[in-house]
Chains A and B, each alone.
Chain A
Amino acid sequence: MTRPLSKLAVVLPLLGLLLLITRAELALRANNGFRLAITGYDPRDLLGGHYLEYTYAFDWQGPSSCGSLGPDGHPASLDPACCVCLTRRGDDETPWARQVECGMVQGCDGWLRSAPLLPPSRYFVPEQHAATLEGLLRQRQASVEVTSSPDGEPALGELWLDGRPWRELVGP
């Protein structure tokens, strides 16, 4: 009785981990990646632990229909009950965005639920490069590769600074 239970006890964490990895790999391979512009969340302190804290800087274009809207007709802020509809422009350009009801995302090139995009978002960075990256994030145009899972959850890829992967700028 103890032996099968102790085997299950040690196999379960391994299986759980494999499940997480598989899910993350599938999300990354979804081939619907967008490069979204980002800015530091708190300009005084961009670094929280070993991650950069940022917020998405969407290029709002076209009519948004969900959440509170500003005088220009664009969302005043992200509403956790809504979704962000993305329209692709070019490979290196950030997409246009609209905030819409989550039931109205059929015509979008890609879509993300607004709730997981609420600031502050985090990008994990190596301990030894954290301070350098914090400085670079202040000086350069930053963007991050985002793919969307079928249920609108974002999966993050590479961090770009002035259109180049961050590792090229930081060096070894």
Chain B
Amino acid sequence: MALDRKLARWTEAGLISREQAESIRAFETGQGKTSLVYALAGLAGLAMAIGCVSIVAANWDVVPGRMKLGIDLCVMAVLGYGVVRLRERGPGWLADAASVVLYGLTLASIALVGQVYQLGGDPVAALGFWSLCTFPLMSLGQSRGIALIWLLGLQTTYGFALTKLDVLHTRFDGLALAATGFAPLGALLIGRSVRVRSRRPLLAVVAERLGWAEWLILASAGTLGFYDRPSAGDEPWFLVGSALSFAGVLWLARGLDASDPGARTSRWLLLGAWAAAYVPLSLPHGNIPLAAALSFIALWYLVALTAYRSGQRWTLNYATAAIGVRLLIVYFEVFGSLLDTGLGLVTGGLLTLLLIWLWSRRRRAFERGSQVLAAREVPK
């Protein structure tokens, strides 16, 4: 619908001919259908994979354990054969759906072995083995859905490994805390890798988006450290982990195109997010709600600025909403003594006015920029 309206507007303005409008409509509709098929197939595959795990978890007693394993191996072999055939002959969406089912079934089968032989269940070992065995299978995926499922699976394994590091020795609490940031940075590194971008462009796109989303969530959560910081932040290993993540940030920032204004701001966003994620946890301080609010708003202002310079309207809207919600929370936080409430309301009001003023200026410029961009992108 939105596309139809835009095409009609552009045709009326004489920017494109009727034939060009039809061509664009046909192309976009086809793209939409393919994406929908891949998305639905991925969803069906994921549902079946989770179903397999659930059936194993039920530990159905009627079939003896070794027979269950035999049946499981046969199903895996048949499914594997199907994946190979589908990868050769297509359709691609079905190959991806079958791969997702095999991915889930492999995890369920590892759990089944643990169940039949009462292996006790070390989730880290099981997830690590699963990720290792299914690495080539998932690396052959062709859709965004399978890439997302794979990356989340790898990150889940990593997350469990971090909890193990925490349990192994309390000295490593700090390292485990700091290493949480390695997951989004790893996704960003995959997304920015020239090799991955050339060979698996969809995987690169998904990894980069996931990495950014997680990096911002982590940074936003880090600002809560100004309220109360965990004791793990005092440990030397936390500093080691923070330094490593800073090195990763510098590496990523170095690879961004300096001539692109959006990429230039992205560098500041990467660094700003690192500061928001790690500084409140590493510096000793008391409860400073205002610092928490200001660091959050500064972070999301950088997000909005990056979105604005890259022409990402949706991200700009989300960033605006995030700042608005945070300001709302500030209003609730300031209710205390009369002096606190007064100062808090005045500060909150000033911040809100400042934000509205900045936004109204930027927004007009953004709208102008978007129109120029849209006019430039119209096929001749």
Binding site for B on A (CB under 8 A): 2-3, 5-18, 20-21, 24-25, 27-28, 49-51, 116, 121-129, 154-157
Contacts and interface: CB of A to CB of B under 8 A. Distances in A.
A79 to B, nearest CB: 14
Contacts of B136: 5, 8-9, 12
Nearest to B60: A126
B75 to A, nearest CB: 11
Contacts of B14: none
B59 A50 contact: yes
A25 to B, nearest CB: 8
Contact of A128 (B61, B87, B109, B137): B61
A15 B110 CA distance: 12
B80 A11 contact: yes
B113 A20 contact: yes
Contact of B117 (A13, A122, A156): A156
B36 interface: no
25 contacts: A2-B87, A2-B88, A8-B136, A9-B137, A9-B140, A10-B79, A10-B81, A10-B83, A10-B137, A12-B136, A13-B106, A14-B76, A14-B77, A15-B133, A16-B110, A17-B72, A17-B133, A18-B73, A20-B113, A116-B120, A116-B122, A126-B60, A127-B58, A155-B117, A156-B119
Give the size range of B's interface with the partner: 35 or more
Given A10-B102, A14-B76, 9 more contacts: A10-B81, A12-B136, A13-B80, A13-B137, A14-B77, A16-B132, A20-B129, A122-B121, A129-B61
Contact of A127 (B59, B113, B132): B59
B80 A14 contact: yes
Given A13-B102, A17-B113, A126-B61, A155 B119 contact: yes
A49 B123 CA distance: 14
Interface string B108-143: 011001111111111000000100111111011000
A10 B77 CA distance: 8
B40 interface: no
Contacts of B76: 13-14, 17
B59 A126 contact: yes
Nearest to A129: B61
A49 B115 CA distance: 13
Contacts of B72: 17
Contacts of B80: 10-11, 13-14
Q: Mostly helix, strand, loop or mixed at chain B's interface?
A: helix
Nearest to B134: A13
Interface of B: 57-61, 69, 72-73, 76-77, 79-81, 83-84, 87-88, 102, 106, 109-110, 113-122, 129, 132-137, 139-140
A12 B201 CA distance: 25
Q: Which 6 residue pairs are nearest across A and B when measured between Cβ atoms?
A: A10-B80, A156-B118, A126-B61, A24-B117, A16-B133, A9-B136
Contacts of A13: 76, 80, 102, 106, 109, 133-134, 137
B102 A125 contact: no
Contact of A20 (B57, B84, B110, B120): B110
B171 to A, nearest CB: 14
Contacts of B73: 14, 17-18
Contacts of A9: 83, 136-137, 139-140
B102 A21 contact: no
Given A17-B76, A125-B59, A154 B84 contact: no
A7 B80 CA distance: 8
B169 to A, nearest CB: 10
A144 to B, nearest CB: 8
Contacts of B120: 116, 121-122, 154, 156
Contacts of A156: 117-120
A135 to B, nearest CB: 17
Contacts of A121: 120
A21 B77 CA distance: 16
A129 B53 CA distance: 19
Contacts of B129: 16, 20
A17 B115 CA distance: 13
Contacts of B84: 3, 6-7, 10
A5 B135 CA distance: 11
